[in-house]
Amino acid sequence: MGIDAGGTLIKIVYQEKNRMHYKKFPIFEMETAIAWLKIVAPNVKAALTGGKAHIIQQDFFPDEIIIPEFQATCEGAKLLLQEEGGNLEDPFLLVNIGTGTSWHVVKGGEYERILGSGMGGGTFTGLGSLLTKVEDFQELTMLANEGDKGKVDLLVRDIYESAEPPIDGNLTAANFAKGNKVKHTDADQMAALSNMITETIVLLTLQAAAIHQVKQVVFIGSTLVGNQSLRKGLEFYMNRLGLTGVFLKKGEYCGAVGAYFSV
């Protein structure tokens, strides 16, 4: 069994009757997750990874090994790419949008973490709850999917008004600049927040791709699950910038998959 204990979720991958199974729990339900494990597989051998792996090892699996997080994530991403029929040329960028966001360059059997940002799912949920008083991630994604960022963000077309703008008028001139000047909803605020996170990730991805001379980007991480506003934004900018964006269906489980197959 592979267990990835991150800042927000515990993700578990195990095999039964030649079939892979995927399960996740909120990190605050750690004891519930381990109790479930002990029931379904009392003699399970586990490989651990993630920022809280040492806690699980110490409290529940003292004899099991910990796989370095970046190793497990990159190895798991390569395995899932093969499983999902991804055909990418080396090197490519791996962008892991979890609680925060990490960038890795993957080339053959080698990988290197090149960049990190505090902008990610933690920002989406934390700042989103401050803006809307909604704390559930899935509810916040539903709001973001329904909202109109243009009622909160100042867009290029707002600056030029009736004149023809020199660039796409729907692009952001300033995030959240309209404040309370325009009537907006919680959904509009979440759409603007999702857009700000998207643009930050895209700008850093573009710089990393240019420095490392890559054209293909693989996006993974739990923040993408059900988050259509974030995914559509990433797809939009990837296409505009001439980069190929790939989204793994089981991308949130890369760390757990990598841990599972590392032993």
Structural domains in the chain (count): 2
Decide if pLDDT at 80 tops 90: yes
Residues 109, 25, single domain; the answer is: no
Residues 95, 172, single domain; the answer is: yes
Q: Is 186 left (phi over 0), alpha (psi -120 to 50) or beta?
A: alpha
pLDDT digits (tens, 9 = 90+) for 22-48: 999 999 999 999 888 888 888 888 999
Q: Which positions are catalytic?
A: 69
Nearest to 106 by CA among 134, 78, 69, 83: 78
For 41-62, give one letter per residue: b (16+ CB within 10 A) or e: eeeeebbbbbebbeebbeebbe
User: Which band of pLDDT confidence, cut at 50, 70 and 90, is reported for residue 216?
Assistant: very high
Residues 103, 188, single domain; the answer is: yes
Residues 237, 147, single domain; the answer is: yes
Domain that holds residue 47: 1-84+250-263
Residues 197, 243, single domain; the answer is: yes
Residues 79, 101, single domain; the answer is: no
pLDDT digits (tens, 9 = 90+) for 82-101: 998 877 888 999 999 999 99
> How many percent of the chain have pLDDT more than 90?
86
**Any idea what the CATH number is for the domain that residue 31 is in?**
3.30.420.40
Residues 263, 225, single domain; the answer is: no
Residues 49, 96, single domain; the answer is: no
Lowest-pLDDT range of 37-51, 105-119, 215-229:
37-51
Residues 206, 126, single domain; the answer is: yes
